Structure 1
Amino acid sequence: MCDRGAVVTGIDASAGMLEQARRRLGDDADLRVADLADPLLFPDGAFDDVVASLVLHYLQDWGPTPAELRRVLAPGGRLIASVEHPFANSLGQCLAGQETNYFQTRNRTEEWTMGGQTAQLSFWDRPLHAMTEAFTAAGFRISVISEPPALPSAQDLAPEQSV
């Protein structure tokens, strides 16, 4: 991106993740340790585009964050966000024999092993309507909601489901 003229700013709560980004983006990118749950330390209208890829599910309360993302966008700016499919998490819990309620915002904890280290990760699942309402309440106009198709191998995991 930087090599094509983009001015890139990145935030993450993890200094280690920012170091990986630094290796990919080089020294021209402005990378900062920050928490999306806190007010962002950028002026109003600072960015033409904001990308929030697979990070919002770590937040219990979505109220303040979309409003902050809207605040730092320039007029006409775009937010590009990706989230885990809300029904997939509910379905996964059902298939594992756990009780779940798709329409409820709920905390889900998973144990992940990466690089030889195990960590407990906490996610906040919420139904699609709660996600879209958080963005529209913050003043966003949603232009596209898209769902990529499931991988063909997903059929092996749940043969009774049509994917």
Structure 2
Amino acid sequence: MTETTEKPLSGLELLRAMIAGKGRAPAISATLNFKAVAVEDGVVTFAGTPLEGFTNPIGTVHGGWYGAILDSCMACAILSKLPADTHYTTLEYKVNVIRPIPLGTEVTATGTAQHVGRSTGVAVGEIRDSDGRLYATGSTTCIVMQQR
């Protein structure tokens, strides 16, 4: 019997497979109506549309939706810079909501890695609509862990 071993994927390869439909997409993407749409080395873009079910008691898009899409694009920007057998998780992130996103408006959230080292990664992100209007910014720090 021959045993086959698959080569572990780098973060960039993993994200490219996910966008191509060959890898596992994060479940939160389906739950919150957003998905990864573009990936480059150090830059990842998600697109999404906030729905009625994502509003706060006053009827505007809940800050958690902004946070989830920004956390996803920023952390994935860091992932895109990681070699195979390396993992990450968010240590902290900050969101600055600039204006409310109108319900039903598709936006993109783009994360850009600023630093990825052996133990931490730092990235920033922005949410914009198709006209380039800025809705929110964010920043994150992730811990980088070597798989043993």
Which band: TM-score by shorter chain? Answer: under 0.3
Q: Point out the structure with the larger strand share.
A: 2
- TM value normalised by structure 2: 0.27
Answer 1 or 2: which has greater helix percent.
Answer: 1
Q: Which has the greater radius of gyration?
A: 1
TM (norm. structure 1) is 0.25
